[in-house]
Amino acid sequence: MATSPSDFYCRQAIPRLTPVKVVMETEDVLAFEHTNPAHPVHVVVVPKEHIPSLIDLGGGGGELLSKVMAVVGKVAAQIKEGHGAASVTTNVGLYQESQHLHFHVYHRGESDEQILAMYGHHDG
């Protein structure tokens, strides 16, 4: 597994050299509470195999990406169930601090009223 010096996930989180609180784990994917959360609920989902980014899937390809996305969906559903809303983001290029594909699944902590005022229900 070729990793870059800025790959926190391969170098620290996946081998548990930095302790992480696991939210969900499969043979291929690890989801854990962010070690330095930016939101009240903040989970990171990563493939256990090194994948550089969403636009460079390396050797893992679409099959591994679909396994990662299945876990992202389950974590997002859990957060939505518990908090009423969830967001999912990933970054590429200079926005991607750790050079390993990862998704942030989080709840920002707004009240139901704030969420509805911001996003509303424009389709109804």
Angle at 71 between CA 51 and CA 78, to 5 degrees: 145
Domain contains 3: no
Domain contains 124: no
Minimum mean pLDDT among 27-36, 63-72, 88-97, 98-107: which range? 88-97
| Domain CATH code at residue 105 | 3.30.428.10
Range 55-79 burial, b when 16+ CB lie within 10 A, else e: eebbebeeebeebbeebbebbbebb
Q: In this predicted structure, what is the pLDDT of residue 93? A: 86
Domain contains 66: yes
**Alpha carbon distance 107, 124 (integer Å):** 24
Domain contains 12: yes
Q: What's the predicted TM-score (pTM) here?
A: 0.86
Number of domains, the chain? 1
Domain contains 80: yes
Domain of residue 106 covers 8-119
